[in-house]
């Protein structure tokens, strides 16, 4: 893959995030449905709603920079989803619940890195409005990671207390 300019690099990053967010809509449905812990399940459902807003915001970013919203396959995301599907097919209960929390955290780390990169590029290229929108999503992804980390700690404490 040859990239001609930093602007192209920004667009490619946005396309990968557009693909990622749309793939995560389905993945978050799955996580919510297969997680027995009610608090964690609800958290996944709420983050799905936020992810719908991220898709819309990315469409606005594309519009702001004068590019057509397109999806670019992101193999990292596909691999994380495939890994989860394999694990979920072989496990259930508390083990799957904890794994789902961990999978969510991995995804948030990936998204934070990706949004950090495109936010920086957009700002450097003078796409200030786009950078502001991307920064908003970046903050929301960081908050989601914090919430998942807290949910994981609480889940672990409940499991220890229940043993």
pLDDT band at 2 (very low <50, low <70, confident <90, very high): confident
Q: Measured between alpha carbons, how far apart are the two ends of the chain, in Å?
A: 52
Please give the Cα distance from 40 to 137 (Å, whole number). 21
pLDDT in tens, 70-118: 999 999 999 999 999 999 999 999 999 999 999 999 999 999 999 999 9
Please give the Cα distance from 148 to 135 (Å, whole number). 20
160 has a pLDDT exceeding 90: no
pLDDT in tens, 116-150: 999 999 999 999 999 999 999 999 999 999 999 99
pLDDT in tens, 35-83: 998 988 999 999 999 999 999 999 999 999 999 999 999 999 999 999 9
Render the burial of 34-70: b for 16+ CB within 10 Å, e for the rest.
Answer: ebebeebbebbeebbeebeebbebbeebbebbebeee
Please give the Cα distance from 162 to 153 (Å, whole number). 14
Please give the pLDDT value at position 57: 98
Please give the pLDDT value at position 1: 57
What domains appear along the chain, each with residue ranges and CATH number?
A: 6-162 (1.20.1260.10)
Closest CA to 70 of 126, 27, 16, 33: 16
* pTM (predicted TM-score): 0.94
């Amino acid at each position: 893959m040859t990239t001609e300019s930093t602007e192209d690099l920004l667009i490619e990053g946005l396309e990968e995030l557009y693909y990622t967010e749309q793939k995560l809509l389905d993945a978050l449905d799955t996580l919510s449905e297969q997680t027995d812990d009610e608090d964690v399940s609800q958290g996944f459902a709420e983050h799905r709603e936020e992810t719908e807003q991220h898709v819309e915001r990315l469409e606005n970013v594309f519009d702001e920079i004068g590019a057509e919203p397109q999806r670019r396959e992101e193999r990292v995301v596909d691999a994380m989803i495939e890994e989860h599907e394999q694990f979920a097919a072989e496990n259930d209960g508390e083990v799957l619940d904890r794994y789902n929390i961990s999978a969510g955290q991995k995804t948030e780390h990936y998204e934070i890195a990706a949004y950090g990169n495109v936010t920086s590029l957009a700002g450097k290229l003078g796409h200030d409005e786009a950078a502001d929108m991307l920064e908003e999503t970046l903050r929301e992804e960081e908050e989601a990671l914090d919430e998942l980390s807290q949910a994981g700690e609480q889940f672990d404490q409940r499991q220890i207390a229940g043993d």
